[in-house]
Amino acid sequence: MTTPLQVTARLRTPVTEHDHLRGPVDAPVTLVQYGDFQCPFCGLAHANLREVLRQRSETVRLAYRHFPIANLHPYAERAAEAAEAAGRRGRFWEMHDWLYEHQDQLDPVHLTLGVEQFGLPVDEVEAEIARHAHGDRIRHDFVGAIRSGVDATPTLFVNGVRHDGDFDLATLLTAVDAAATP
């Protein structure tokens, strides 16, 4: 009896300095997350990924890429645009964290309050969101995700190989430790 060939999905778009990165540049393990700010599963993974970064601070760097699933999450693209607008001002990760910690407040009114809370220029950010000033960046991430076999969020790649396991802390730490071991 033969077994079917199992194909492991690989990351098709390499991590570069243009990615949103958290953690040491020379970390032996790079996690790439394709996420949607309105996805409840991404919200759960967010807390665990932050803890992985804390516990393995010298071992892991995280690259965040957008994969808004607009037909399921009506505020996901707007949230991605807000994160990019904040990123343009050096505040991507702060906005990223706020968006995941306030997933029930991504409607336009609450999102504006979040932008204001960070002291960002509300009128400028709102204008960028309205004209989709960061749409090319978000589409680039989305297309790279599709090419890499992403079809849901969150999708995580560990050193370029898709992580098909759970997103609980113990499983993520095990995956990171395995990838860090030569």
pLDDT above 60 (res 139) = yes
pLDDT at residue number 47? 96
Question: What's the CA gap between 133 and 65, in Å, rounded?
Answer: 17
pLDDT digits (tens, 9 = 90+) for 109-130: 999 999 999 899 999 999 999 9
Question: What's the CA gap between 177 and 77, in Å, rounded?
Answer: 33
Q: Which CATH class is domain 29-180?
A: alpha beta
pLDDT at residue number 2? 47
**Percent residues over pLDDT 90 in the chain:** 93
pLDDT digits (tens, 9 = 90+) for 142-159: 999 999 999 999 999 999
pTM of the model: 0.94
Name the nearest CA neighbour of 67 among 82, 77, 58: 77
pLDDT digits (tens, 9 = 90+) for 59-76: 999 999 999 999 999 999
pLDDT above 70 (res 3) = no
Show the CA angle centred on residue 97, arms to residues 87 and 10, nearest 5°. Answer: 80
Backbone angles phi, psi at 62, to 5 degrees: -115, 130
Question: What's the CA gap between 31 and 8, in Å, rounded?
Answer: 16
C-alpha distances in Å from residue 108, one per residue of 20, 38, 77, 129: 24, 13, 11, 10
